[in-house]
Amino acid sequence: MSGLGTGEFSIGGELWPGLSKLIEECGEVLQVGGKLIGSEGRTDHWSGDLNKMLVEELGDLRAAITFFMEANAIDAASVSVRHREKLALFWHWHRTTNATRKDPTHATGETAK
């Protein structure tokens, strides 16, 4: 290692500026997600309103992603192509999973009796 400090990866750093903030914000979204899973999806939590916290953390993450891309000259058009492809796949999975849950015969190809 070249003796770089973690400040190089922070906002204002010269090497991958904003990476530490991006990772931090990812972690905060994960933390709220963990609380939602732990509370079986209920948003009333001893630490606060999980829906409100999730909205705030997603906004923070989105800002961190945008900053990181801009500060590191990452091609937004290329990221957008990947974003659209992945989003379409996620929606496909969502529709397929919902169809299977609503009609258990969907997955096996059997007809309902």
* Alpha carbon separation from 20 to 30, 70, 77, 79, 95 (Å, rounded): 15, 15, 23, 20, 35
pLDDT the model gives residue 1: 47
**pLDDT, mean of residues 87-101:** 93
Terminal alpha carbon distance of the chain: 66
pTM of the full structure: 0.81
pLDDT of 103 above 90 = no
Percent of the chain with pLDDT over 70: 86
67-93, pLDDT tens digit by residue? 999 999 999 999 999 999 999 999 999
pLDDT the model gives residue 111: 46
Q: What number of other Cβ atoms are within 10 A of residue 33's Cβ?
A: 13
43-72, pLDDT tens digit by residue? 999 999 999 999 999 999 999 999 999 999
